[in-house]
Amino acid sequence: MNVGVQNFEPLQNVVFCFLDLETTGLHPQYGDRICEIGLLKTKNNKIIDSYSSLINPHMPVSPGASEINGITDKMLHNAPSFETVVERVLEFIEGTVIVAHNAPFDLNFLGVHLYNLRITFPKNPVIDTLILARAYYQFSSNTLTNIASYFGIDVSGVHRALGDTKITKEIFHIFLDDFRQKRKINTLYDLLELNGGSITFPTYGEIILPPEIEECLRAKKKLRIRYISARGNETIRTIKPVDIVPYQDYTYLISHCLLREKRRTFRLDRILEMIVVK
């Protein structure tokens, strides 16, 4: 745990940091990236600080994501990249307990970004309001907006990062008051017990890349590959590698495919041959 966060800290002394991300799509393992981050820091249900920023993902926002969050490629054109804001983000969350709705989603995206920058994952305890909602309530739906509407919470800022942190904060403190009254919780340890323990950041091992891919990523060169699909079909195509993403037991190469003129994801173990081309 970070310095200053102790298991048996009384809840009124705990600094909570509510986290929400907007992303270009749903799957970081297929190249989707963070396009907005929101952080809201509270102590004893009082807001003490906040931070939010659009993030340039250096890739288009998917139409589906843009329709939900209203973030367009034009809005992100002059936004800072993640590596520009990461130090500020890590400083902001230091010494806090992170709270998010569907925390694994946010942690997975953060994990990929931090891993690519070779930054050690933070050790903050993490509480998930989605887990709490499923375990201790019977809402008709456990989406953030549905739970907020149930409690009469204003959802006008929904689907933007800082707006969602404010909604999550309201829901969390309703839960907390309820748990204090009905379950007699008093400490962070008690709360973590209800949460089933802290949610952890995903674990990624060190990736050893073939020298051809290393060269293409470093020098922005193209790669001709012979690739076998999940159905067993072989194709030969020229790609421009963009990024490497580990996910579960596999490593994926995110590339611009010159054959399809679209971004494509290739599982590294399915690349049969590769040659660097100019």
| Known catalytic residue at 27 | no
Residue of 27, 58, 159, 173 marked catalytic: 159
8 A C-beta contact, residue 213 and residue 241: yes
Strand partners, 41: 17, 49
Place of tokens 């003129």: 261
Beta strand 234-247 with 250-257 is antiparallel
C-alpha pair distances (Å), 101 with each of 9, 19, 256:
23, 8, 33
Helices (DSSP H) in 159-255: which residue ranges? 161-182, 188-194, 211-219
Tokens 């739906």 locate to 141
Structure-block tokens of residue 168: 């999550």
| Catalytic positions | 159
